[in-house]
Amino acid sequence: MPDTNIDFPGYGYIPIRDLLINNIRRYFVFKEFEKNQRKRAFILIAEFPFMIIGKIVEVMGDYVSVDVETTHISEIEGKVLRIHVDDIEVFHIEQPDSPIPAISNVQDES
């Protein structure tokens, strides 16, 4: 492996061979959210509330702030949540060729 350095936030340039896999994952998740600020994201986290759809407001340190558009807890909708990068299990950031569909709370009244 070539001795390539990576600009790791908060640590400066570090040789890739010295980074642990969790640090590499954290770095790339951070970068993906940072370059896509103001776009919609679908995020699954292990802890409650589990699923969030909203606009990426800010990326600061190890945290992503999301303006919650949709979740299964209506009291959280319309609020900004800070999510630690390590808590993000799965995510998709909306792009022109891969939109996130609108999801609304539809209750069966039968």
The CATH number covering residue 19 comes to 2.30.30.100
The answer as to whether 16 is a domain residue is: yes
Express each pLDDT in 60-77 by its tens digit.
Answer: 988 999 999 999 888 999
Residue among 80, 39, 46 at smallest CA distance from 63: 80
The answer as to whether 106 is a domain residue is: no
pLDDT of residue 8: 67
Whether 59 and 42 have beta carbons less than 8 Å apart is answered as no
The answer as to whether 101 is a domain residue is: no
The answer as to whether 109 is a domain residue is: no
Mean pLDDT of the chain: 86
> Which domain covers residue 30, as residue numbers?
5-93
When divided into structural domains, the chain yields a total of 1
Q: CA dihedral defined by 96, 98, 102, 103, rounded to 10 degrees?
A: -160
Express each pLDDT in 3-34 by its tens digit.
Answer: 677 776 666 777 777 667 787 788 889 999 99
Q: Determine the average pLDDT of the residues in 43-68.
A: 93
The answer as to whether 98 is a domain residue is: no
Phi, psi of 27 (to 5 degrees): -60, -50
Entry pTM:
0.76
